[in-house]
Amino acid sequence: MNVPFRALSSEAARGLRGRLLCDEPLAAHTSWRVGGPADYFFVPSDSEDLAMFLAMLPAHVPVLWVGLGSNLLVRDGGYRGAVICTHQGLGHASPSGSSGYFAEAGVPCAKVARYSAQMGRCGAEFLSGIPGTIGGALAMNAGAYGHETWSIVKKVELIDRQGQIHESTRDAFKIGYRSVAGRGDCWFLNATFDLIPGNKEEAQGAIRTLLQTRGREQPIQERSAGSVFKNPDGDFAARLIEAAGLKGQHCGGARVSVAHANFIINDGSATALQIECLIKRIQETVAEFCGAELEREVHIVGES
């Protein structure tokens, strides 16, 4: 525990409108439902509150942003630093201009898809297949069913360690498959999406079809973190994992999903260590039997 900051937080927290907690278990905030405590866990009430928190945070304290907790494995020893939880306080979303849509970092991707379709603003339907928030989708260029987040981004706002806000366009970043470079020591605060006027019923129908497909192909009712590995060029991680005979393989309470081999399921008893061990076993086995190196999509943080 960082004692100097704990002493500071007791004074500084008086000016914050959000919730600042110490030793908060992260298992309650991740979709795998595993993970030890964070030294500090802050839920801002809005972007101004967040800016105040960052401004008073000592420079040596690491920061981790968490939305819905998908695509994230927190080790059992927890996180030595400050976790910022976005999906409660940074949840504003609204139309922008004649066809755009604005969403803060904590807004679920599925909500942007649903609400923009209701308004006849098309192009964001694929976001309904991403089990996370806009902040995470921006940070990793999340995608689903052949579409990627940054294909519809018009502009973004970022916030730095001093709580200063900066606006940028898509051209300021180097966008790749599941990667975004060029944001430096900043985090995505919100985005304005460039959509097109379209037919409301068709957009809603596309979302229903996508969700039905996702429900058939993915274990959405079980504890997972979404896709564990990136797809290699010209292939699919799930195909390689299945070809290596790993479907259904387990390490303690963690197992490879039989519905979709690129998902690891927590049966309710798994530890973060067991999930991480299974991830490594998959990588080693696929490399041995298929000659392919699987790169993690899941972000692993914290202490063992």
Given the residues 24, 125, 242, 297, the one annotated as active site: 297
CB 291 within 8 A of CB 94: no
Whole-angstrom Cα distance, residue 89 to residue 20?
13
- The yes-or-no answer on residue 227 being catalytic is yes
- The yes-or-no answer on residue 167 being catalytic is no
Given the residues 70, 99, 224, 227, the one annotated as active site: 227
Given the residues 178, 214, 281, 296, the one annotated as active site: 178
CB 32 within 8 A of CB 225: yes
- The yes-or-no answer on residue 297 being catalytic is yes
What is the DSSP code string of the chain?
--HHHHHHHHHHGGG-SSEEEEEEEGGGGSTT----EEEEEEE-SSHHHHHHHHHHS-TTS-EEEESS-TTEEE-TT-EEEEEEE-TTTS--EEEETTTEEEEETTSBHHHHHHHHHHTTEES-GGGGG--SBHHHHHHHT-EETTEEGGGGEEEEEEEETTS-EEEEEGGGSEEETTEEE---SEEEEEEEE--EE--HHHHHHHHHHHHHHHHHHS-TTSB--S--BPPPTTS-HHHHHHHTT-TT-EETTEEE-SS-TT-EEE-SS--HHHHHHHHHHHHHHHHHHH---PPB-SEEES--
Catalytic residues: 178, 227, 297
